[in-house]
Copies of this chain bind each other. A is one copy, B any other.
Amino acid sequence: MSARERAASVAAPRRERRSSDEKWRTALTCIEPNKILVRGYPLDEVMGRLTFGEAIYLLFMGEVPSPGIGRLMEAILVSFIDHGATPPSTLAARNTATTGAATRACVAAGLLGFGKFHGGDIESCMQFLDVGLEMVRKGASYREAAERLVEQTAGNEEPRRPGFGHRFHTRDPRAARLFQMALELEVEAGHIQMIRAVEIVLNDNPKEHLPVNIDGAIAAVCGDIGIPPSVANALFIISRAPGIAAHAEEERTRQTPMRQIDPKDHVYDGPSERRLPERRK
C-alpha cells in the first residue's frame, strides 16, 4: 500500500450502507457542550499548538502531519495565496465587490471561477502522473514512461499536459521552490520523479518545451505526501480564498462603486521588491 493509498484509506472510510433507522455518521468534528474535538483533539488545545495549515491537514487527513509534511502544507497553501488582479476568479470577485456586495458573496463568486481551465489542473495532473507511475510499476523506467505519456497526449486538447506551461511565467518560481523544499524535507518520491522525467522529455523537443507550473508541482508533491486528488483540489480552493477576499476588500476601499473593470488597465502601486526580515527562520 502506497503512502497515498494509506492516507486515502484514513481520509475516506467506506460509503455508508445503513438501515433507515440508523443515524448518519461524520468523523470530522465532535460537538458537545463546552467541548469541540477535531478528529479527536480538543480544538482549544490545537489552538496555539498547530498552525492553520497543519490543522487543515488534520481535518482532511485525520492525523497530525509530521513536521516536514506540515511545512510543505504551509508552503503549498502560501504558493497559491494570490496571483494579482487578472485571474478570472479574482475579476469575478472584483466585479461582485463593485456592486457593494458583502465579502462572503465576493469570495463565493470568485471560487466559482475555478473551472475546467482554471485550477482544474491539479487533479488532472495527479491522474496524468498516476498513469505514468502505473507504467513504472509494470517495469518501465521513468524515462520510458515519460516518453510514452508525452506521445499519448500529443493530440490532446488544451490543457494537453496538465501541470505544464503558464500564461505569464516561463519558469515558475513557486514550482522550483516547492521542489527544493520537498528535496530538503526528504519527501521526494515517485510523483516528483515522474513529473521531472516528463519535463526533461518535453525539454528535448523545442516545439513542445513547457516547464512544470505550480499546479504540476503541487500535484506531484501532494502525490508524494499521500494527499488524494480531491483533497489537493480542496486545498487549492482554500489557498486562494484569502487572495480573493483581499481583492474584494481592496476593490471596496480603494475604488468607486459600479465601475467598469478593465483587467489590462491597472498598475501595481504597492511596495517595491524587498527581502523578508532576517529573524525569520
Contact = CB atoms under 8 A, between A and B. Distances in A.
A162 to B, nearest CB: 13
A82 interface: yes
A46 B78 contact: yes
Given A237-B104, A267-B23, A71 B96 contact: no
Interface size grouping (class) on chain A: 35 or more
A276 interface: yes
Interface string A235-273: 001110111011111101111111111111111111111
A72 B52 CA distance: 11
Contacts of A7: none
Interface of A: 11-16, 23-53, 55-56, 59-60, 62, 64, 67, 71, 73-75, 77-79, 81-86, 88-89, 91-93, 95-96, 98-109, 111-120, 158, 167-174, 176-178, 181, 230-231, 233-234, 237-239, 241-243, 245-250, 252-277, 279-281
Copies of this protein in the assembly total: 4
Given A52-B239, A88-B96, 11 more contacts: A26-B266, A28-B246, A37-B268, A41-B276, A44-B176, A51-B78, A59-B82, A62-B271, A96-B115, A101-B116, A261-B263
10 contacts: A13-B253, A26-B268, A31-B268, A36-B84, A47-B78, A103-B234, A107-B237, A111-B111, A118-B258, A167-B258
A15 B24 CA distance: 30
B92 A276 contact: no
B60 A170 contact: no
Contacts of A32: 168
Contact of A237 (B88, B116, B171, B241): B241
